[in-house]
Amino acid sequence: MPAARESLLDAAYTALARRPWAAVRMVDVAAAAGVSRQTLYNEFGSKEGLARALVRREADGYLAGVDRALGTHSDPRERLMAAAEWTIVAARENALVRAMLTGCWSQWLPSPTLTAVPSSSAVPAQRRADGALPSPGDFVAQVRDRAVAVLAGPGVPSSDTTDLARSCELVVRLALSCVAAPPGDGGVTDLVRGALHRQPV
């Protein structure tokens, strides 16, 4: 029941914008989604399961945005700047994304353990959510690797992409530093442009 699952995740996300996660009640999430509380428990198992699924969905949404940003231009530097800008926007607009990227979880947010938890769920999406959740370092590696794959093209041996990977990781880390300490005039774009000026891309 993917539609009900998405409705429940939307309702949980909306509730989280209004109150701390500790005050979000499962019965209210179910009611806001227009489904029974039993449906919610069938889908997620528990409030912790709902939290893990919500974090997984927001992580996937962030990475999908990275993929879109990397596909927006033909120039490699512009692609990396677009991915960096997306990172800043996503972190500014979504507290869960900001927490995942920085590792700084406030008391307002759910803070599921990043390690996998035992899953007995019959729902494939929940079994995935019960798996390991990405740490800030995992995001760096995933965004770097996505950027390398797009910029290097298919069939390029990994031994030929060492310098490119270093440049891509530099951009990701610059973007994350801007999440923690927002830049002044020119924003992340000027920082990335300056950093890439002498980098092989």
The per-residue pLDDT for range 11-25, each reduced to its tens digit, is: 999 999 999 999 999
Q: What is the pLDDT of residue 198?
A: 64
Query: CB–CB of 108/17 below 8 Å?
Result: no
pLDDT in tens, 105-130: 998 999 899 999 998 888 999 999 99
Buried b (16+ CB within 10 A) or exposed e, 108-136: ebbebeeeeeebebebebbeebbeebbeb
Cα 153 to the center of its chain, rounded Å: 24
Percent of the chain predicted with pLDDT > 90: 73
Q: How confident is the model at residue 153 (pLDDT cuts 50, 70, 90)?
A: confident
pLDDT in tens, 126-151: 999 999 999 999 999 999 999 999 99
pLDDT in tens, 67-106: 999 998 888 889 999 999 999 999 999 999 999 999 999 9
Cα 57 to the center of its chain, rounded Å: 8
Q: How confident is the model at residue 38 (pLDDT cuts 50, 70, 90)?
A: very high
Query: CB–CB of 147/70 below 8 Å?
Result: yes
Q: What is the pLDDT of residue 28?
A: 96
pLDDT score of 194 more than 90: no
pLDDT score of 1 more than 70: no
d(CA 125, CA 79): 31
